[in-house]
A and B are shown apart, each in its own frame.
Chain A
Amino acid sequence: MGDVQEDIDNDSDFQTTESGASQSYPQQCSALRKNGHVIMKGHPCKIVEMSTSKTGKHGHAKVHMVGIDIFTGKKYEDICPSTHNMNVPHVKRNDYQLVDINDGYASLMEDSGETRDDLTVPKNDIGAEITKNFEEGDTLMVTVLSSMGSEVIIGTKPVTK
């Protein structure tokens, strides 16, 4: 288990394990938690706000939640009886080494050495940071979040030597 971190990083057959599996699984509303994930109106969201309420003193618990689409940043709201199920997306994070940036596309290398060039550098603060640090010649790792068939770069950190 000591090599777990590396195992994750160089896990090459990850996609294949996932491709057959469903993109989400049901979970009872009351079991969802803040900072967890949920599918709201078809979008994978991170739950940023969660509160329970009831209609009237003798009413039943309802869960009110606000989620932010993990890819677009769009906000969604939903309210649901606490006993109902909601779908929770499978969300994964992978770290890659950044090899190059071409026309706004990031060239990423897995630890196995395979590269991929299909992800854009996001047009936000993270993207700006990546571009800046890369141009300054730093060796960077980027974190890629994937869920429901979409992937996006969500973070970066310098390679620790």
Chain B
Amino acid sequence: MEDRIAQELEQVTQIVLAPPNIVTPEERHAAENVILDFRKTKMPYKLCRHILENSKCDYVLFQAATTIKEAVIREWSILSSEDVESLRSFLLRFITQNITIQSYVREQILQTVAVILKRGTLEDLKGASRNSLFQDVTQLVSSGNVTMQLVACSMLTALLNEYSSSSRTSSVGFTWEFHTRCKRAFEESDLKRVLLFALQVLNELEKQASPLPREAMAVLNRMLSISEQVLCWEFVPKAARRHVGSFEMNQNIPLKPNEKWRDTLMDKTVLILFFKIHRKVRHNSEMAHHSTQCLTQLASLNGYIFVDDKARCEYLATFIDGFLQLITSIDLQDYENLGVATIYKNLVMQFPMASMLALPQEMFDQFLEQLTRLTCTMGQGAALEEAYHKDDTIHMEAYEKMLETWMELISKMKDVSLDKLKPQTQQVFNSYIQCHISAPDGTRTQEGRDSVSEEDEIDSVEEDDRERFSDQLCSIGVFGRMVAGHSIPSLCRLLEDRVARLHGQLQRLQHQQHSMSHTQPPPMDPHLTMLYEDIHWILLVTTYVLTEESEGETPMIPSDIMEYSISQSKTVDIPTTLKVLASPGERADSIPRADLNTDSVVRLVSSVLRLCEVEKRALQAKMAGSLSPQVSASIMWFLRRWSLCYLLPDENYYSQVSPAILSAFGRDSEGAQWTIQFLLEKILSNLSCWFGEDGILEDTLSLLNSFVDNRFRAGYVTKCNLWWTLAKQEAEHKPPLSLLPFSCKRMLLRSLVQAGSGVEESWKEQYWACVLTSIHTRFYETVCHENFAKMSYVSNMKDRIIDLLECLCGIAQGTRIDNMERIFTFFHPLMADSVKLLDVYHGYEDVVQLVIKFFSEAVQAMLCYLGERDSKKMYELCLSLTQTYSKHNIGKRVSNASEEEEDRYNDIMLVMEMLTNLLSKDFIDFSDPDDDCVPGDKVEASDVALYGLNTVIPLMNADLLKVTSHT
């Protein structure tokens, strides 16, 4: 009977494992069912033992082990403790007697043993077996037979896997609660036993002379891996409820064992052992990984394990001592970098500053010195990885960890004093600059980068440096501000030098162009590329030194910069500073006394303005081909971030202000007026010369927008003639502004509308007439064109419509409470006609989407301020839009296979967005309630929203749900 079943299983195994051309799917399916039925056998233990002892087929052995595992869980309550114990010892014996079986079978059998043990954890009788298991394991280890020792390792690993809260736990259907109780019990009685076990073996192996024999290395590797798993253990917190559901591979959990581990982990020899072991294995990347993981975890030790601060400090001292000895005596292998960086980070994160400062002075100094040295070398490694476009980013990751360590250290030391760190941060700052600029000032390598920049196409999807490296640039900015007296003058020197060189190069090129007229523009000169890359990086660093991230906060001049500027007051001469600022066409050092009496912050900004001037002149000379769009975009981006905090700052926000900064950029200063005028000229120059470069245009328009996003600044900017020039150019709809890509129109109009809030009362009507009337006229010229309907499908007519709709979206985005009434009156007829537009263009998804977007924006910007009468008008418009939309979509929606999956439902998303905006009236309503009551039917936002939902829901199908970005 048992033989028959075994035979049958061996037969079906052949079918299951056969290649698809030999068996039919039906045959395979039937074979699989046989195996699944076998797995459900009641009381299969005798049968499975027979199979294990007799079958020669690994797959069948595997299935037998699985069957036992599942049956034990299922039938646990009817099994006696003897049954369980005999099963367990049989399985373990089976492994030791059949050491040649396939490893996947062995692992499955050991997992079965582990699951049996886990199931019995909480029962006195059936649970006693863990002790006997440990006896067995001890025997295996002390047998001196390497194979037996490896089996013992596998057994321990299986146990750790089963009890841990990780994805490695097998899914046998224990409740989470049961699992946690088992885990806690295992932690209490066994986990430490496992570690002691591993430590014992590690100690013995460490004593053996190197090189170890191959087998011993294998055991060492397994034992290290077990130690790693124990040290990475996530201990069940006292209030376990909070952790419900955290069943995942969560790496980097700090080591936080309870008091019972004190005797083991506070033993200095344990730490010393791990450092010694690391030296022994560090040339093998896999083992080095395990041993650094152990050290990393030991570096994160925290919690009740420390009796008091003294114990904590002693442990830290022992660790740092061993760590410093290690890193000062070796050259790191590439793969060791991340580990070392993580050790640094864990030490700084987990140990309070008091413990750090209680270290012997010399040790702490060395700790910082090594941190600095390694940060710089890792930074250099990262820069090389960058230059050669390596896929492997081990240095980069390590470097970023080091920078995070610095940030933590700085924030912890702030309360004591940062002076100690300044020389070190200056070193890291300098090294960063060096890595990113070319020789002789820097070390940026030319080889890798040049070959790449000359030939390879860079895809536009590649992230810009400013985002890609924002985290590290943020840290570098913090370093720079800590040593502002060093960083700002040196950035300024570098930038002035590069700008002067660029100017020279461009002049030379211009002469060449003159002499060989009518030839193609020359390909980008390698010298120029090098200069541009330098300038680009200097700009990025300058941005992060002068400004802080201010997402969601009022942008401010960082206090370090303000203090630094104030500290120069004694030597600074304001007129000289202003002269340096206001002469962008000349070299700063050509101005008398500029080097002695100029405020460095203003001078650094003025060097960016010099760069703008060089660019502007080159553009005038039709040399756009020799300029770098990347640098142009970086300039605009710098200026935007800079102008948000430095241009016309509100003095009330600052406890102290620098006279130099105030007279250069402050309110009521001539400097600010000059700067605004200068920047507007540059913006206009960009808009008319760079219309093929979306990136520059976006950054330029963002800068423009930063001038008008608060009413005060808008007031200043609109006093400038150039602003009016801009508004008039847009109104005339002639080149260059009419050549801008449609997407830019939105931002442009938004800025023009926002600026309206700042225009002086006496000029207001004229301004609004200029901005709005032309749009109105163009809209009706287009829509009411006698041939509109005929021409509607002609593409340039469609382009005109898209252009107008983008403008309208921009106007809606620029709407604020103070211009809301005017815009609503302006919008009302246009919205009504846009519904007709939707009717005509219903087949063109780009137009459809823009019309809906326009409505959505308009509702969002205005509805909350509208009184009852106007709200009703708005509801009616939205209702009619939804009706028209539904007329063309219900039952007629064709999915266009050529569209990207995500884009296919954008219109539905937009309708939903609009309906959501409508509903917000229910809870955000700033309108005057007694304003204007309308008799008659009341239309509520919810009515329109419900009607809309009714329309949209039938359009949502199963396909839509698959598009994850929409859910």
Chain A residues near B (Cβ < 8 Å): 1-2, 4-5, 7-8, 11, 14, 17, 25, 27-31, 33, 35-37, 48, 51-62, 81-84, 88, 90-93
Contact = CB atoms under 8 A, between A and B. Distances in A.
Nearest to B843: A93
7 contacts: A1-B836, A27-B799, A35-B899, A57-B529, A58-B528, A91-B793, A92-B794
Contacts of A82: 692-694
B387 to A, nearest CB: 12
Given A57-B630, A58-B524, A4 B529 contact: no
Given A58-B524, A58-B529, A83-B692, 11 more contacts: A7-B789, A8-B793, A14-B790, A52-B460, A54-B457, A54-B460, A57-B630, A58-B630, A59-B524, A60-B693, A84-B692
Mostly, the A contact residues are mixed
B25 interface: no
Given A31-B742, A33-B846, A57 B789 contact: no
Contact of B629 (A27, A36, A58, A90): A58
B625 interface: yes
Nearest to B689: A83
A37 B536 CA distance: 37
Contact of B795 (A14, A52, A53, A91): A91
Contacts of A57: 453, 458, 529, 533, 536, 630
Interface string B781-816: 001000111101111100100000000000000000
Nearest to A18: B794
Contacts of B461: 51
B931 interface: no
A132 B485 CA distance: 83
Given A14-B790, A52-B460, A93-B793, A58 B694 contact: no
A60 B692 contact: yes
Nearest to A7: B789
A28 B789 contact: no
Interface residues of B, number: 48
A27 B692 CA distance: 12
A48 B898 contact: yes
A54 B839 contact: no
A45 to B, nearest CB: 13
Contact of B692 (A5, A25, A30, A36): A30
Given A30-B694, A58-B631, A1 B840 contact: yes
B457 A53 contact: yes
B391 interface: no
B229 interface: no
A19 B906 CA distance: 37
B248 interface: no
A58 B533 contact: yes
Contacts of A31: 741-742, 799
Interface in B663-704: 691-695
Contacts of B628: 58
B840 A52 contact: no
Contacts of B536: 57-58
B787 A56 contact: no
Contacts of A17: 787, 790
B458 A59 contact: yes
Given A1-B836, A53-B459, A8 B792 contact: yes
Contacts of A1: 783, 788-789, 833, 836, 839-840
B796 A25 contact: yes
Nearest to A89: B795
A56 B840 contact: no
Nearest to A36: B795
A89 to B, nearest CB: 8
Nearest to A64: B457
B720 interface: no
A84 B458 CA distance: 19
Across the A-B interface, the 10 shortest Cβ-Cβ residue pairs: A83-B692, A56-B453, A58-B628, A82-B692, A52-B460, A4-B789, A7-B789, A53-B457, A58-B532, A1-B836
Given A53-B459, A56-B456, A93-B793, A61 B739 contact: no
B687 to A, nearest CB: 14
A109 B898 CA distance: 30
Contact of A35 (B452, B839, B840, B898): B898
Given A1-B836, A57-B533, A58-B630, A52 B694 contact: yes
A61 B452 CA distance: 16
Interface string B455-492: 11111110000000000000000000000000000000
Query: In this complex, which of A5, A56, A92 has the most chain B Cβ atoms within 10 angstroms of its Cβ?
Result: A56
